[in-house]
Structure formats: C-alpha cells, structure tokens
Chains A and B, each alone.
Chain A
C-alpha cells in the first residue's frame, strides 16, 4: 500500500516505457554513479568513432624506435616493432566495443527467447529448455575453447561465436524467473482470454514489460564480455593482427613487454578493459536504482515552496 496517497496515480510499474527516455536522462544526471558511468561510455564511444581525433600516429606503422618508454610524442611508448602504443590503443577501441556490443545483444536476445518461452509455455518445453540451458552453463569453457581453437580460424568472428555460445545461458534462468512472476498477471490472462496466440503474447505482451531486466542483463553481460574477450585473446585465441585490446595484450605478452621496459604496452589495454567494464557496471548499478526507487540512497530534501500555483 503506497504511503503516498497523492491523487490516485500509482508509481509507474517496472517496465513502464512511457516518457522513459526523458525521465531516464534526468535520472542519470541526478545519480552520481550513472553520470560517471555514462561519461566513461560516452568517452569510449567517441574514441571508437573518431580515433583520428585522439591519436596522433597511425596505429600499425612500424616507424618509430622500438621498445621506447612513454614520452611526449608517444604517450604510452612503442611496441617491439616500433608502433605507437597509444595510437594502437585508440584504434583498437572500435572493434573491441563493437564486438562487445554485438555479443551482448545476441546473447541477451537468445537468453530472452529461451527464458520467456520457458516461463510462459511451461511443462515439458520448460524442462527441456532448462536442461539445455544448464548444459551450456556448466560447459567447461576453456577446454571447449582450446578444442575449438584447433578447428576454428582465429579471429573476431570465431571469438564472437564462441562468446555468444558461452554467455547466454546465465541470463536465461534469470529471465525465466522474471517471466514466471509475470505469468499470472491479469493483463496476460486477459490476453489469453481474448484469444491471442502464444507467440504474440510472448513477444508483445511479456517482453516489453521486462525491459528493465533486459537492459540490466545486457549491461551485466557487457561487463563480462569485455573481460572475457580480452582473456581469450590474451590466451591466443584471437588474431594477433586484428586491432583489439585483447590482441594487444597478447602481442605484449609474446614480446615480453614487461621485461623489456615498455610495460605500458600491456598496462594500457589492461586499463582500458577495466575502464570499459567499470563504465558498464556503473550504469548497471544506477539503472537498478532508477528502476527501483527502494534502492535509492535516501537524501533529506530541503523544504521548498508549496506546489500550488
């Protein structure tokens, strides 16, 4: 029972998308975590979109003195082949970000379909889908990858495929739980009562009410994918000639960068991965708080004037 008995308007139900963009924007500004997270993401997106505006050297040109430490013209030093580390970092942003987003989108989508169908249809379908999900959940990822590495051509595509396969299962269970709580809500009963088909109900009636959970799933996945993609590439499962932060780490490791004195070759991409992950994570926290007022920090407000005109 709402304590606030002002008029008869209830607080918006979770998943209420009306006027959401504007409200969301204001909420982001007001929440410190969200603002910082959003700024990080915007910065990284900008760098991904306009690398030329930020980096001052071509990333792959082997023009410079190799293994140099940081200096004014090479902010993060150079690689063992004489490439500017900073520029490499900057130009790698785009592919890294794109892969992260694509994998997160696909995995969220798949987990949504599986989770919601499972919840809505129930019965045998539910059990079968959950068994499949569990299998994917407990797949030992690294052995699988090593196996696949022998057969798949190294590179971004394989990486994307592998990441999608191994990351959808976790969220599927969560979305299924949420779907189950919605299952007997009256508006779904009403949809059934008027004769809507099952597929319609899943896509049009259920999924839109889960937007906040879907966004949260997406953001959590993104945090995971950022780190895991880099890990996989570091282990050699990427294509070292592709420009991504993970491949930079691989190359740096291969060239023993830390011993050779240009540690920034490894630290740079490492910090970038951490930064991107943090950005997603902060926005994720804030999104929770925006969507669920109970989680907001209670701040004493100062008294303002009466609301009447």
Chain B
C-alpha cells in the first residue's frame, strides 16, 4: 500500500498523502530517575492517511493505538521518527502561529464522553473556544451561527448548545465531541475509541455520522478501536497493531476477508456476531505483553500457533503482499512460495 511503495518510487506531487509517519516511535520511562525500564508504546510505525478516507487503527489495549493518536495530536513528542502533514514535518513547528495552524487541521475526539467535557461550563464552551482560536476571521455573531451549524451537522439541534454535559446522554456527548472537532474545519479527525463507551444501539448513529463526515464534508478520519466489526463498517483501510508494532495493513475488505497475520486471524475469530452462534472458540488465553525493554523478534510469537525459529530472532518488518502489508515471516514466506523451516512449538522464548 501507500508507504511501502513510497520508499521505492519518486513521490509524485499528488501522491503525498495527507498525513504520513516515518518510523514513528514513542517510549516511556518507567519508575524513578534511576530505573532502567523503558516501555515501548509504539515502535517504527509507518502509516499514511489520504484525503477523504477513513482508516481504522485496530488493536487491543497495550497495542499503542491511543499513543499514536496522542502523538499525531501533538500532545507529546515522539521519541524517534517523524510526522509529515501535507509534506511538512510537524515536529519542526515552533511558532504559535504554526502550531495553531496544525491544530486547526488535525483535531482529536476523545474516548470517554463522560469526562471529556468541562463540568462547569455549557457544552458550547469547547466549540466556541475552538472557533475563537482557529477561525479568527469570524465575528462574534458569526461564531454563534457557525456553532449552531456545526451542531446540526452532527445531528444535534442548535438548542443543545446551552445544555450542560450532565444533561446529555453518552451518544449526544460524543456527537458534541465531533462537533467541537469539526468547528475548526479540520482535514483529519483522530477519533480515539469514539463509540466504545456507548450503548450498542447508539453506536450505529455515531458510526453513520462519521461516514457522512467523510462523504459530505470531505474529512478524513483515523478511527481507533478494538472492535473490528465496526472497523469493517466504516473504514476504507485497516491497520492492525499489536504490542506497538504494525502487523497488518490494507484495504478493509481484503484484510478482513483474508487475514494473513495470525493476530488478525485471532481477532476475527474472537469478534462475536450475535447472529452467528456457531462456536468459533480459539484456545488462546494469552494477553498482549507489556513491552518493556524488548528483545528482537516478533512480539506475537508466544501466542502464535505458527511461530518458527526466525520469529524469535528477527523482528518482522511490514512487507507488501498484494495490496496490503504484513509483518510476519511465515505469511511472507507463504506468499512468496518459499518453503518454511520446520515449525517449532510457539514457546520459543528468548
């Protein structure tokens, strides 16, 4: 897909994606001053987001997906690597003017509709502040009108501007979150698990609204979730992360109908569909590792039914297979028709 090809072709003027990361890495130091434990939240991530598309970033907790959102929103800097927005390296932005420009192009919607709002102010507060900061050209009256317009575009009535957060339901609050993000006329919305805390019957409305934003307002969305079924519903492309690494990425239908990476396969088998009560139980009872001071090798190998020796020695890099990329030695070997060495038991701990 996009970034794999970029390293091999001279990028044409219109091939520059909206947002692109290069070896994006973020580590956190654990413990006190003298502790030597480094948590690897995200390692060497190369992703790209085009205009007018919804990209789903799928993974369990500890996969690094929320960290990616916060990195892209510039809530903290990366440990290594770069982020390019419209070709500009955003790490180099220094002046307040540039920073505000970026924040007006890329906005974030947070997960918890219950704590994402200031408890004292009305819900119009966030929208009005966003307009004041990023749409300076509007007068006070025009801002009020714009706030109303933006509320309506997410399916809320303008009267709700004067409500307080605790008077609104979870679904309504989440829509306000999107309204706030939209007020600045962004090109990209980073949506961090926007429906996870909502009741199931309300999720559909919010997901449909997101698709509408892409179609009607031309906004791209990075949809971060652990729910692969909703990812299928709204996303054009899917990126699967595990323990800080990208393991598989490609067009949504391709990845989901024919997953190549064993982790993607595991996710699909675990995702339940209420209409489908055939038992598809996997024997897996493992959990994503906390990646502290990791060694080389694939981080999924302990849970992988197909692990071979190479998996504990060489960290697999995302490699193109057809229209997608997969970070798995076994999958790549199979795709290229290379015979595999004898499989060892998945307990190749090193």
Contact = CB atoms under 8 A, between A and B. Distances in A.
| Complex A–B touching at CB under 8 A | yes
Interface of A: 8-18, 185-187, 189-196, 205, 208-209, 211
A235 B237 CA distance: 78
Nearest to B164: A18
A194 B118 contact: no
Dominant secondary structure at the A interface: loop
A15 B75 contact: no
Contacts of B103: 193-195
Contacts of A211: 120
Contact of B73 (A15, A187, A193): A193
B166 A16 contact: yes
Given A209-B120, A211-B120, 19 more contacts: A9-B167, A10-B114, A11-B166, A12-B119, A15-B119, A15-B120, A16-B166, A186-B110, A189-B75, A190-B110, A192-B75, A193-B73, A193-B108, A194-B107, A194-B126, A194-B180, A195-B133, A196-B129, A209-B118
Interface in B129-150: 129-130, 133-134
Contacts of B99: 195
B169 interface: yes
Contact of B117 (A8, A187, A192, A193): A187
Given A10-B166, A16-B166, A18-B164, A190 B119 contact: no
A8 B169 contact: yes
B130 A16 contact: no
A187 B133 contact: no
A209 B187 CA distance: 32
Contacts of B157: none
A16 B119 contact: yes
B119 A13 contact: yes
Contacts of B169: 8
Interface string B29-58: 000000000000000000000000000000
Nearest to B115: A186
Contact of B100 (A17, A191, A195, A208): A195
B120 A208 contact: yes
Contacts of B115: 185-187
A205 B118 contact: yes
Given A10-B114, A12-B166, A189-B75, A194 B119 contact: no
